[in-house]
Structure 1
Amino acid sequence: MTFLSWLVVDDVTTAVTRAVTVLVIACPHALGLAIPLVVTLSTGLSARSGILIRNRQAFERARAVDTVVFDKTGTLTRGEFAVVETAVAPGFEEERALALAAAVESGSEHPIARAITQRAAEHSLPLPVAEDVRAIPGHGITARVDGHTVTVGRLGLLAARPEWLEAALARWEERGMTIAVLLVDEQPCAAFALADEIRPESREAVTLLHRMGIHVAMLTGDQRAVATWVARELGIDRFMAEVLPEDKQNVVRELQREGHIVAMVGDGINDAPALVAADLGIAIGAGTDVAIESADVVLVRNDPRDVVTVLELSRRSYRKMLENLGWALGYNVIAIPLAAGVLAPYGIVLAPAVGALLMSLSTVIVALNALTLRASATPSHSATTAHAH
């Protein structure tokens, strides 16, 4: 068309020059690279961050997520008991209480026993030898240690609650914590509060999601007191407690009916239906095979902050795609008419060599703009952590 138009008003040489310039400048490299280059880079960046994208369409939808629902156990928490607080009788040392309790519990595989022995190990406490270890069915375990009868077990072992323990018990029971008591020669000497310990990264993850304008919700099958405490500790907007595994997907669908774009984060087989129902299903850490197969995105690490990285990377990738498309289309809209000679009456014409240069520059600009995704790919939680230190 350009050739014929110029052939009518000018000579063959000019017509050929204009036509060749249009052909050169209209080479669709920039337009063709605008999206695939960003997709390739974002996939590589996510893999280096320990994020495996199994469903590309779902990942691209992640930019629109406005609500993230976390399963509590194993996701926001470690999924195992830990001693989080200790109370001791006046004149009794905390380290001695912990060493005695760990000595009695050292041969047990019970979750409470493992938590107490782990706590003693963290403090590098030498454990005395426990002899004549016997279980008290339904109540605890007892043994002879350093000539004393040492018993560790449920709160029901106490005939009465000592005054020094009352305030701590009230606080622990309000949080729904599991409580173990230590008796030496039938006298209460210490008590341990155990809970599914909150991951230190969870607080930062929730804070970062809030900064992004995203609502955070939590699902758990635990009792309401436990859920209330965890939600309060993390600043979570909304939580549902005592949720049966089969009801988790119903909660996700209810949020969707309210108009929310929902990301579900979980690690267990019980989370699989909810992961499928969500707009974006994220399996975290060494989750079950069923959870991983049901997820759109798999986080290799047990770090809730990687959820933030997924959403940020999706948003940045989308912006880069729009920028590249805008540049490629804008370039074609302006450069092709110039190459065709619409401004020739004003003395503005493009030679084929200039057209080739502009075409190359447009491709380079699209590539460089896509590469800025890598420059801005440092997770925001790294900066926050560094600032905190």
Structure 2
Amino acid sequence: MQHNHSKHAETATRNVHHGSRAAHEQHSHEQHAEHHHMHHEQHITQSGNQHAPMQHGGHTGHAGHSEHAGHSEAMFKRPFWISLVLSIPVVALAEMVQHMLGYHLPTFPGSAWIEPILASVIFWYGGWVFLRGAFDELRVFKPGMMTLVALAISTAYIYSLAVSFGLVSGMPFYWEMATLVTIMLLGHWMEMRAIGSAQSALKELAKLLPDVAERITPSGTEKVPVSALQMDDVLLVRPGSQIPADSVVLEGESQVNESMITGESRPQHKQPGEEVIAGTVNGSGSLRVRVVRTGEKTMLAGIMRLVEEAQQSRSQAQALADRAAYWLTFVAAGVALITLIAWTIAQGFNDVTLERVVTTLVVACPHALGLAIPLVIAISTALSARNGILVRDRLALEQARKLNAVIFDKTGTLTKGEQGLVRMLTQPTVREDEALARAAAIEGDSEHIIARALMSAARERHLSLPQVSQFQALPGRGVQAQIEGRTFQVGGPRLLAQAGVQLPTAFVDTVRAWGHSGQTVVYLLEERTVQAAFALADVIRPESREAVAALKKQGIRVAMLTGDSQEVAEWVAKELDIDEVFAQVLPEHKSEKVRELQRSGAKVAMVGDGVNDAPALAQADVGIAIGAGTDVARASAGIVLVKNDPRDILRIITLSKASYRKMLQNLAWAAGYNVIALPLAAGVLAPLGFVLPPAFGAVLMSLSTIIVALNAQLLRGLRLNDQSA
């Protein structure tokens, strides 16, 4: 199975790329500078669009995309090596090099044509990628990086041929042209490798799905391609194998590693009735599962679709960089023309003048500007996806660094959205664990919300439950059963009232406070005596306290929004140390509360479950849907969190600030390089005896792009899981 994984990664993107590319080209007039990296940013995009295997439910026909991804690198790699080998004799035969190094090669009839013949092979074979790129750019009236390089090598080559054929006098530029092509090929090859690695996380996602699944049939099992799976198929998932489709467990228990999808580091225990996600890895137990989603509806497909959308969404900084790169092409061409005129006036048109023009064309690097932002976008999007943070809209991630207010929806966001035991009070003679075990045992067979809360609390404490007998429901009051011959009852205030039981004096004030906080109170009675009282409420997530404290530590206002009563809202706010509370707010009025904070000048993030918070999520500067689980396509939010972890808000802010810093660093380097390099190439320091040779100009140009690429790669070292404080 493993040997096909690279194949998966390669073609996983084909079909989806056509759709995304069409949308991309639809507004190409806005992206007038993309020509500077048309061969490179397309590579970014194509490496990342790995949705196709999902679209048909499987991985059939895995042969297209990666051939392009691989071809992008091979497009420079093979010509580089051939050009390098051919450049050695070209450089060795150059009269200038022989003179500089003090040696002389013997000549023979026709030897003068060895250099131009080899140089011609280098120009047409090694330089073809630049010539073709220039043709593509000029065909759509978008001159860019390839146009500048093609102009430089064509000028040097044509002038050199003219010298060889005796049409003009001077020194040929064959060795300069050969080294120029070779160095440019090396630089672009290195650049392709850097860009390709920016998409490694997405390629890994495409590898997660197995080739085949083991489907259970009346006669046993059969191996079928994942593409052939249908809804409600029952599959056997063996220990250590990958889950082939989103499914529900029918039989068996196991620990499933979901870290590659959700970012959750600990394996998750799965038992009958629970969902498993396509691409995750089964642990030591065998599972029988029923398929509930296949193809493009799986969570894995949704994640890759969202990541692709994020990488293609326009960034404000990228739009600025694209415009700068676009105009830099014309600036470079203009400087080259001025250089030609100035040097021709100063000393006539000769090989020195031509050398300055060629160097000026080569040294300009709109490419570094053009790649400054897309590389950061590709890496930050992949980094966030690995941590369960799915960026649907790049602008949302950009805005996150400016946030100074965060509004949390209460239910399902700060709390678990389910009743749980939050307080307990017992008689001095009764141990808490003993009282809870009895209450849970009596309620054990019920599906009532109170029963589930008590049973869950007992499981969390790892309590063993006593045997019960003579179970009896008490309509409207609670339940009754015997434990070891003693009669116990579990119920609410009505049970006490109808039985005429008085609360112990020590319980009265505490139970009253629970009621005022909106908590449900349940009692355990033995005969007519209250043994224990349990307070049930929507359980606060343990991560919520840490998240709120960390946000406030950064000076960010934290508010809570809920449709619950004021009492319940204030209790949760007090527990979490939240100062601003909006209670009893209807879903349709939540967006108005967001506007209130925005009118006060705040940059607001709204964090909700994405179901009834859509207007508020859309109104906020940054809308964040939390706890999406397998439903990752929540359209109202710019950022979707797979997990129910409010601390991810801190991670979003950290990633936003870090990626923005990288963008600025790259832009500053790319712009600063061009400001310095262009005048040097034009020869402004020639009166002081310093001129920039064309080959060195090519080295500088390649280095500038590689530095931008490597700087973007440093973003990979960001530890988002350490950003919770």
What TM-score comes out, normalization by structure 2 length? 0.51
2:546 is matched with which residue? 204
Aligned counterparts of 1:212 and 1:339: Cα–Cα separation in 2 = 47
Q: Which moved more, 1:27-36 or 1:130-139?
A: 130-139
- Cα distance in 1 between the residues matched to 2:477 and 2:353: 98
**2:609 alignment partner in structure 1:** 267
Shift of 1:2: 0.9
Q: Deviations along 1:242-299, whole A, 9 cap, x unmatched?
A: 2222221221122222222211111152212211222221111136959822211111
- Is 1:135 aligned with 2:473? yes
Equivalent of 1:91 in 416, 423, 429: 429
Between 302-311 and 130-139, the greater mean CA deviation after superposition: 130-139
Q: Which consecutive residues of structure 1, in runs of 5 or more, have no partner in the other structure?
A: 385-389
Shift of 1:62: 2.1
How far off is 1:58 after superposition? 2.3
Aligned counterpart, 1:302 = 644
Per the alignment, residue 104 of structure 1 pairs with 442
Equivalent residue number for residue 530 of structure 2: 188
Report what 2:698 is aligned to: 356
Q: Does 1:320 align with 2:320?
A: no
What is the CA–CA distance in structure 2 between the aligned matches of 1:146 and 1:46, rounded to whole Å? 55
Q: How does 1:198-347 map to 2 (within 5 A)?
A: 198-286=540-628, 292-347=634-689
Matching residue's letter, 1:301: K
Amino acid of the structure 1 residue aligned with 2:617:
L
Where does structure 2 lack aligned partners over 5 or more consecutive residues?
A: 1-337
Indicate conservation of the 8 Å contact 1:34/1:328, yes or no: yes
Q: d(CA) in 1 for partners of 2:387 and 2:632?
A: 23
Question: Which residue of 370, 374, 377 corresponds with 1:32?
Answer: 370
Tell me, what secondary structure is at the counterpart of 2:531?
strand
The one of 350, 353, 363 equivalent to 1:15 is 353
The structure that is strand-richer by fraction is 1
Counterparts of residues 156-175 of structure 1 (less than 5 Å)? 156-158=494-496, 159-175=501-517
Rounded to whole Å, the distance in 2 between the matches of 1:97 and 1:325 is 65
* 318-327 or 264-273, larger mean C-alpha shift: 264-273
Q: RMSD of the alignment, in Å?
A: 2.0
Seen in structure 2, the aligned counterparts of structure 1 residues 282 and 153 have a Cα distance that, compared at 3 Å, is same
SS at match of 1:269: coil
Do 2:365 and 2:670's aligned partners in 1 also have CA atoms closer than 8 Å?
no
Q: Secondary structure at the match of 1:35?
A: helix
Q: Distance in 1 between matches of 2:577 and 2:480?
A: 40
> Which residue identity does 1:219 align to in structure 2?
L
Please list every run of at least 4 consecutive aligned residues from structure 1 whose deviation after the TM superposition is greater than 6 angstroms: none
**Alignment partners' CA distance in 1, 2:701 and 2:571:** 60
| Higher RCO (CA 8 Å, separation ≥ 6 residues) | 1
Amino acid at match of 1:341: G
The number of equivalent residue pairs is 383
Of residues 197-206 and 331-340 in structure 1, the stretch that sits farther from structure 2 once superposed is 197-206
Alpha-carbon distance change, 291 to 214 in structure 1, aligned in 2, over 3 angstroms: farther
Distance in structure 1 (CA, Å) of the matches to 2:587 and 2:720: 36
Which has the greater radius of gyration? 2
Distance of 2:707 and 2:576 partners within structure 1? 43
1:96 positional shift: 2.2
Shift of 1:54: 1.4
Letter in 2 for 1:26: A
Moved more, 231-240 or 137-146: 137-146
Distance, in Å, in 1 between the alignment partners of 2:436 and 2:719 is 45
Please report how far the alpha carbon of residue 161 of structure 1 lies from its aligned counterpart in structure 2 after TM superposition: 2.1
Indicate whether 1:52 and 2:390 are aligned: yes
Of stretches 218-227 and 327-336 in structure 1, the one that deviates more from structure 2 is: 218-227
Correspondence for 1:387: none
Displacement, 1:171? 4.2
CA contact under 8 A between 1:272 and 1:291: conserved in structure 2? no
Alpha carbons of structure 1 residues 232 and 291: separation in structure 2 relative to 1, 3 Å: farther
What is the identity, as a one-letter code, of the residue corresponding to 1:217? A
User: Secondary structure of 2:680's partner?
Assistant: helix
Cα offset, 1:8, TM superposition: 0.7
2: CA distance, partners of 1:10 / 1:207: 71
Give per-residue Cα distances to partners, 1:104-146, cap 9 Å, x unaligned: 1111111111111122223333323333433333332222333
Offset of residue 102 of structure 1 = 1.1
Q: Matched residues, percent identical?
A: 57
Query: Structure 1 residues 377 and 363, CA, compared in 2 at 3 Å: closer, same or farther?
Result: farther
**Does the 8 Å contact 1:90/1:164 carry over to 2?**
no
Q: Distance in 1 between matches of 2:412 and 2:593?
A: 19
Q: Is the contact between residue 545 and residue 576 of structure 2 (CA under 8 Å) also seen in structure 1? A: yes
User: Separation in 1 of the partners of 2:711 and 2:464?
Assistant: 59
In structure 2, give the amino acid aligned to 1:133.
F
With normalisation by structure 1, the TM-score equals 0.92
Please say if 1:79 is aligned against 2:79.
no
CA 1:48–1:290: 2 relative to 1, 3 Å: closer
**Residue 2 of structure 1 corresponds to which residue in structure 2?**
339
1: distance between equivalents of 2:462 and 2:553? 40
